[in-house]
Amino acid sequence: MKRALITGITGQDGSYLAEFLLEKGYEVHGIIRRASTFNTDRIDHIYQDPHRSDKRLFLHYGDLADGTNLAKLLCEIRPDEVYNLAAQSHVRVSFDAPEYTGDVTGLGTQRLLEAIRQTGLIEKVRFYQASSSEMYGKVQEVPQTETTPLWPRSPYACAKVYSHWLTVNYRESYGLFGCSGILFNHESPRRGETFVTRKITRAAGRIKMGLQDKLFLGNLDAKRDWGYAKEYVEMMWLMLQQDTPDDYVVATNETHSVKEFVQEAFGLLGLDWEQYVDYDQRYERPAEVDLLIGDPAKAKRQLGWEPRVRFKDLVKIMTEADLELARQERAVATAAGKELAATR
């Protein structure tokens, strides 16, 4: 049985990847951060009773800021594959917390790679690094490919460039089987609620259900290549199954503006978005990435991978899921209201 270690298992991608690897028969180990509130919502449905003898999902406390602990975990688990998905992953937040972002999203990868090297696992482990289309930053070439020059435009993107090149460096210096997936934006009903797509679909559902009046957004003109997270995690695994390590763009080769996303989501619920959306400067970034569109030709040619869910399908999946969530929220609010009235 193959053994995988996932950093960032509680995040959007980590949860889909864990499901995918469990289905493939892997033993899956995930690193979670200690928090004062529960932070395992996205993986609770695959959590297994620790007393089960056939248990294949194991969670360990750890942090990319703690290299000693990473080395200890690697020694104990001795994984065949390591997927480094953990990061302070919010671009706008990285301008507010640049040092922290550099520490976790950049140096965190250094700590993990060095722990793999120092524990003598470098020849055994296959390593996946979650690189990002944000590394392209300022538009120099469209569509972006594996050879497009990088021009990062945020502390987050700078940290990702560092991690990306470290992975290449460990491959060239120490023979690590290390791959970087340059993933363009990918979304799902599990997307964090402060990323623009989920913020939009959450608001559309809540407005439709009468739970919210307004949606405040920043730049509506930025264009992104949005794909479906569930499909993208398959590419992470595929990269590590090849004979030689390499880097790949994972994208749909379609781009749409934030405004188009709003129009589509609100339109699906019969809402006129212009009545509900207001501008708030707080959501602007000091430097913006204006246009991302990725060419996944290499992924198709070499790994046979192609995205199936396109822009309109994705907006529909997310909008429908968030309408259902808002419906449940309203039902809970109504029940609570009735309970309160009954006590008066």
The whole-angstrom separation of Cα 245 and Cα 163 is 16
Of residues 90 and 330, the one with the C-beta less far from ligand NDP: 90
Asked if 144 interacts with ligand NDP (CB under 6 A), we say no
Of residues 281 and 343, the one with the C-beta less far from ligand GDR: 281
Asked if 7 interacts with ligand NDP (CB under 6 A), we say yes
Q: Which stretch binds ligand GDR (CB under 6 A): 167-175, 212-220, 266-274, 295-303?
A: 212-220
SS3 87: coil
- The one-letter code for the residue type at 81 is E
Asked if 219 interacts with ligand GDR (CB under 6 A), we say yes
Asked if 28 interacts with ligand NDP (CB under 6 A), we say no
Which is nearest to 143 in space by CA: 69, 216, 48, 223?
223
Choosing from 20, 58, 95, 195, the residue that interacts with ligand GDR (CB under 6 A) is: 195
The whole-angstrom separation of Cα 255 and Cα 293 is 6
Q: Which single residue brings its beta carbon nearest to ligand NDP? A: 11
Are 215 and 276 spatial neighbours (Cβ–Cβ below 8 Å)?
yes
Please report which residue ranges of 131-195 form alpha helices under DSSP H. 155-174
Asked if 14 interacts with ligand NDP (CB under 6 A), we say yes
DSSP bridge pairs for 257: 223
Tokens of 42: 């996205």
Choose the contact partner of 224 out of ligand GDR, ligand NDP, none; CB within 5 to 8 A by kind.
ligand GDR
Which is nearest to 152 in space by CA: 289, 251, 283, 256?
289
Q: Binders of ligand NDP: how many residues, by CB under 6 A?
A: 26
The torsion defined by the Cα of 329, 331, 334 and 340, in degrees rounded to 10, comes to -90
The torsion defined by the Cα of 40, 44, 49 and 55, in degrees rounded to 10, comes to -90
Choose the contact partner of 14 out of ligand GDR, ligand NDP, none; CB within 5 to 8 A by kind.
ligand NDP
Asked if 159 interacts with ligand GDR (CB under 6 A), we say no
Q: Which residues of 43-54 are buried (b: 16+ CB within 10 A; e: fewer)?
A: beebeeeeeeee
Q: Binders of ligand GDR: how many residues, by CB under 6 A?
A: 21
The whole-angstrom separation of Cα 293 and Cα 252 is 8
Choose the contact partner of 6 out of ligand NDP, ligand GDR, none; CB within 5 to 8 A by kind.
none
Phi-psi region for residue 8, left (φ > 0), alpha (ψ -120 to 50) or beta?
left
Asked if 185 interacts with ligand GDR (CB under 6 A), we say yes
Choosing from 85, 122, 166, 269, the residue that interacts with ligand NDP (CB under 6 A) is: 85
Active site residues: 132, 134, 156
**CB 44 to ligand GDR: min, Å:** 22
Q: Which stretch binds ligand NDP (CB under 6 A): 30-38, 135-143, 317-325, 326-334?
A: 30-38
Of residues 92 and 300, the one with the C-beta less far from ligand GDR: 92
